[in-house]
Amino acid sequence: MATKAPPLEKLLAKGYSQGFVTEIDEDSLPPGLDESVIRAIVEKKQEPEFMLEWRLAAYRHWRTMKVPTWSRVHYPPIDFEAISYFSSPRSRKDAPASLDEVDPEILRTYERLGVPLHERAALAGVAGAEAKGRSVGVAVDAVFDSVSVATTFKKELAELGIIFCSFSEAVQNHPELVRRYMGTVVPYTDNFYAALNAAVFSDGSFCYIPKGVRCPMELSTYFRINAAGTGQFERTLIVAEEGASVSYLEGYTAPMRDEHQLHAAVVELIALDNAEIKYATVQNWYPGNAEGKGGIYNFVTKRGLCAGHHSKISWTQVETGSAITWKYPSVMLKGDDSVGEFYSVALTNNFQQADTGTKMIHIGKRTRSTILSKGISAGKGQNTYRGLVKVGRKALGARNYSQCDSLLIGDRCGAHTLPYIEVMRPDAQVEHEATTSKISDAQLFYCRQRGIDAEAAVSLLVNGFCKEVFRKLPMEFAVEAQALMEVSLEGTVG
Amino acid sequence: MSGSLLSIRQLAVQVEGKQILDRLDLEVRPGEVHAIMGPNGSGKSTLAHVLAGRPGYEVTGGEVRYDGQDLLALEVEQRAAKGVFLAFQYPVEIPGVSNIQFLKTALNSLRKQRGEPELDAMELLDSVKARMAQMQMDEALLYRGVNEGFSGGEKKSNEILQMLVLEPRLAILDETDSGLDIDALKRVAAGINWFRREDRSLILVTHYQRLLDYVKPDYVHVLQQGRIGRSGGAELALELEQAGYAPTSGTAPERTGGVR
């Protein structure tokens, strides 16, 4: 009946459009973890000795650690012996030298995901971009299960001295850089999942921007988990030398599977004097079905180090997927006058849980940080913002501004804001604002009266709520993020 | 009655078990302007909301035919697509969604439901700006969140702007004149008069005669005890202004705010 009050929320019955499985021959290690597995990974990847030593040290340390339980997420204990720690598509050669050598099935997968892997069309974009003096091209590194399958634009970037390749290639071709920086921001002793990652990570992306170079295009990595019963442990390392700048985006998807899959990544960013790194994430892992079955456990450690003065690191994340999200992209503001930023949209629907936020550690003088967090809860989703702002003894004149907004859709979801503030200086300026709001029946009726159906209205209202964060994304990804919100909100109103 | 755009027969409506409208009859033909007046609590806003399909109102009797169809069987957005527009007494704020984006989304949603192609963004912008100029509205309002931080007058003007852009066939204005100063009232009235056309109908729900000084109605109805108590031409409003609502309701007559 048109006059009866429609319930504002109804459990989502959406289809996860990226939930297909690609039929390819996978080369996997049997489940379980001991030193022989680590040696096998090192051997498969033909890594140098220092990697083996580092991985083994991490593994031994991990054995002494316990699973962290402090976050507001609930899940049955993970059986780490049931996970396969290495899976790679068995292609004709171990490392495809060009796109032509990549398994066509994988290329089709990326095509279905909308990854702009083919260079030709994009190249035209770059040529035009140079003329206009701004970046529109996108260089892509694609990671399928644990192994990088293709990196585009490598040659164009190399001419500028930029290294953008898979982590494995970096270990082979630039071991001195890997050795110098790997683990300096997130040491393997940092936490349980960081230790596990250090021990078993199989690939990821590596990016090095030399002194004074502004990367002319967006760098992008797409991660996809395909194989069943595998964990994905990738590692990303980005170094921006003095005066360098780079904008980087990572995207994630995974097929629908009934069992949970573990994703424990580590991302390290290092910005030297006057360098700037923008790091954006659009995460759309399979969130599990409407009853909470399946979905990705996304336990990730991301940290940036503003090592140099006037350096800047900016995290932007749009998190709509995963059964559980547990991540706190952080910035260590060591250099004087360095700047840290965190812009986040986290959406939880059905039985999704998110415990996410940031840490801004002010060490240097006049360091500044901004935190803008937008949490959206629908269905029975639980959304927690957890953030630490710390101002150390030497951080003269440090400033922080934090704003945490929560939006509730329906009455069975939850939003929680847990700010931690530690200030050791009297001259520090730390501000925290938090709001919680609901999509009101009045707003919904207003939109519908103007001809916008309920689902489109919710998506419009939510996009309005997220606007300040979406604005921080590169244009083409802002559009993608909006579309993602629409899909993730399907079925939240009746 | 033949030729009616809107035909309300014996409409009865309850809100939370309380009878608000009781055997209400009303006929609105294309091109007509009807003013609905009446004391507070007489059911004026309820009538406006029921016609638009706001949830929470229970129709317990009677029927409403719109353009030959059972209006009450349609969803809110379907009624909008068929040309029913409600200017809200309290326009809702939508933070972060710009006014122009909202107009574009609304217009294209209506067009899509009607099977019409989407309107070109530049074309839309030009026509919106032309109407804003007519209404003496600041173009900057287009790029602010819908009604976000708007003054009372700006919100009401914005409702009229939406009406002019969306071009409904039946516009119901729920106390659009309340809370406006005289300049804002004139601008809003000018907007309403631009809207008037022989194929468009208007229902003006109002407390006051003063809007009717600028928008001349064809009919004035007085809502009392949930139904139309008296009907007349534009002169009835003037009479009410002087004498107040006739004490036929059994309750104490309330004076309209127009009496100073």
DSSP for A103-127? -HHHHHHHHHHT----HHHHHHHHH
Residues A181, A209 contacting (CB under 8 angstroms): no
Interface A:B, Cβ pairs < 8 A: 93
- Work out the widest C-alpha separation in chain B, in whole angstroms: 57
Which H, E and C letters describe B21-36, residue by residue? EEEEEEEECCCCEEEE
Say if the Cβ atoms of B76 and A463 lie within 8 Å: no
B21 touches chain A (CB under 8 A): no
DSSP assignment of A63-83 equals HT------SS---PPP-TTSS
As a whole-number percent, the residues of chain B with pLDDT over 70 amount to 93
Round to the nearest angstrom and report the end-to-end CA distance of chain A.
12
Distance, in angstroms, between A344 CA and closest chain B CA?
16
Tell me the pTM: 0.80
Long-range Cβ contact pairs of A411-414 (< 8 A, separation 24 or more): A411/A9, A412/A9, A412/A379, A412/A380, A413/A348, A413/A377, A413/A378, A413/A379, A413/A380, A413/A381, A413/A382, A413/A383, A414/A377, A414/A381, A414/A382, A414/A383
Please name which of B223, B226, B231 lies closest in space to residue B207, comparing C-alpha atoms.
B223
CA distances to A101, A372, B70 from B43, rounded to whole Å, are 74, 45, 21
CA distances from B46 to A337, B32, B42, B139, B231 (A): 60, 21, 9, 33, 19
Residues of chain A with Cβ-Cβ distance to B149 below 8 Å are none
Dihedral sign for Cα A393, A394, A398, A404, please. negative
Q: What angle separates helix B99-113 from helix A454-470, to the nearest 10 degrees? A: 150
- Kindly list the averaged pLDDT for each block of 10 residues, start to end, along chain A of length 494: 35 45 64 88 91 96 88 79 72 47 59 48 28 41 57 78 90 95 95 93 90 89 62 89 93 61 90 96 76 78 97 92 86 98 89 88 97 90 91 96 92 88 95 90 95 90 89 75 71 59
Amino acid at A35: E
Interface contact B51, partner A, CB < 8 A: no
Q: Indicate whether B57 pLDDT > 90.
A: yes
Interface contact B64, partner A, CB < 8 A: no
Q: Residue A265: name the closest of A209, A313, A219, A322 by CA.
A: A322
Q: Identify which of A443, A445, A453 has the shortest CB distance to residue B94.
A: A443
Instruction: List CB contacts (< 8 A) between B74 and chain A.
Output: 2
Residue to substitute from B11, B47, B77, interface A, most A β-carbons within 10 A:
B77
For residue B19, how far is the Cα from the chain centroid? 22
Phi, psi of A251 (to 5 degrees): -125, 150
Beta bridge mates, B14: B19, B58
d(CA A457, nearest CA chain B) in Å: 9
Query: Which comes out higher in pLDDT, residue B1 or B99?
Result: B99
- Predicted confidence band at B154 (pLDDT cuts at 50, 70, 90)? very high
| Most confident of the ranges A226-235, B119-128, B246-255 | B119-128
- Is there a contact between A224 and A194 (Cβ–Cβ < 8 Å)? no
- Residue position matching structure tokens 């027969």: B9
What phi and psi values does residue A160 have, to the nearest 5 degrees?
-90, 0
Tell me, yes or no, if B91 comes closer than 8 A to chain A by beta carbon.
Answer: yes
From B60, which residue of chain A is nearest by alpha-carbon distance? A3
| CB within 8 Å: B102 and A450 | yes
Does A461 contact B166 at a Cβ distance shorter than 8 Å?
Answer: no
The residue among A1, A3, A372, A469 with the most chain B CBs within 10 A of its CB, best to mutate, is A3
Q: Which amino acid is at A26?
A: E
Contact flag B58-A3 (C-beta cutoff 8 Å): yes
From chain B residues 134-163, the ones with a CB under 8 A of any chain A CB are: 145, 162
> How many C-beta atoms surround the C-beta of residue B145 within 10 A?
18
B59–A contact, CB cutoff 8 A? yes
Residue ranges of chain A whose CB lies within 8 Å of a chain B CB = 2-6, 440-443, 445-454, 456, 460-461, 463-468
- Nearest Cβ partner of A4 from B55, B74, B162? B55
Q: How far apart are CA A240 and CA A210, in angstroms?
A: 7
- CB-CB: which of B54, B93, B105 is closest to A452? B105
Nearest to A90 by CA among A49, A5, A29: A29
| A468–B96 C-beta distance less than 8 A | yes
Give B93's contacts in chain A (Cβ within 8 Å): 443
> Complex ipTM, two decimals?
0.93
With CB atoms and an 8 Å threshold, state whether A443 touches B92: yes
d(CA B62, CA B171): 22
- Do the chains contact at B113 and A468, CB–CB below 8 Å? no
What pLDDT is recorded for position A439?
A: 87
Q: B59: which chain A residues are within 8 Å (Cβ-Cβ)?
A: 3
How far apart CA A110 and CA A150 sit, in angstroms, is 11
Residue of A nearest to B103 (CA): A450
Q: How far is B217 from chain A (nearest CA, A)?
A: 25
| Cβ proximity of B168 and B84 under 8 Å | yes
Rounded Cα gap, residues B83 and A264, in angstroms: 54
* DSSP calls for chain B: -TT-SEEEEEEEEEETTEEEEEEEEEEE-TT-EEEEE--TTSSHHHHHHHHHT-TT-EEEEEEEEETTEEGGGS-HHHHHHTTEEEE-SSPPPEEEEEHHHHHHHHHHHHHHHTTPPPPPHHHHHHHHHHHHHHTT--GGGGGSEETTT--HHHHHHHHHHHHHHH--SEEEEESTTTT--HHHHHHHHHHHHHH--TT-EEEEE-S-SGGGGTS--SEEEEEETTEEEEEE-HHHHHHHHHH-S-TTSSSPPPPPTT--
- Alpha carbon distance A116, A195 (integer Å): 33
> Residue A2 and residue B73: Cβ atoms within 8 Å?
yes
Q: How far is CA A176 from the centre of its chain?
A: 26
Distance between CA A339 and CA B91 in Å, rounded?
A: 40
* The predicted structure's pLDDT at residue A226: 56
Residues B1, B27 contacting (CB under 8 angstroms): yes
Shortest CA distance to A141 belongs to which of A251, A222, A254, A234? A222
Name chain B contacts of A4, Cβ cutoff 8 Å: 55
What's the token pair of residue A169?
A: 């290639």
Q: Is B45 on the interface with A (CB under 8 A)?
A: no
A316 CB-side CA count, 13 A: 22
DSSP category for residue A287: -
| In contact, B134 and B142? CB cutoff 8 Å | no
Q: Which residue intervals of A182-240 are DSSP H helices? A: 192-200
Strands A368-377 and A399-408: parallel
Q: DSSP class of residue A100?
A: G
Contact A452 B109 (CB under 8 A): yes
Chain A residues in contact with B75 (beta carbon < 8 A): 2, 448
Q: Which of A81, A220, A197, A208 is nearest to A146 (CA)?
A: A197
CA distance B218 to chain A (A): 26
Using the predicted structure, report yes or no on whether residue B168 has a pLDDT greater than 80.
yes
Q: Give the per-residue pLDDT at A10.
A: 34
* Contact across the interface for B162 and A450, Cβ inside 8 Å: yes
Domains of chain B: 6-243 (3.40.50.300)
Put simply, the answer to whether A451 touches B113 (Cβ < 8 Å) is yes
Which residues from chain B sit within 8 angstroms of residue A465, using beta carbons? 95-96
Chain A residue with CA closest to B75: the answer is A2
Decide if A53 contacts A61 (C-beta within 8 A): no
Q: What is the pLDDT of residue A148?
A: 55
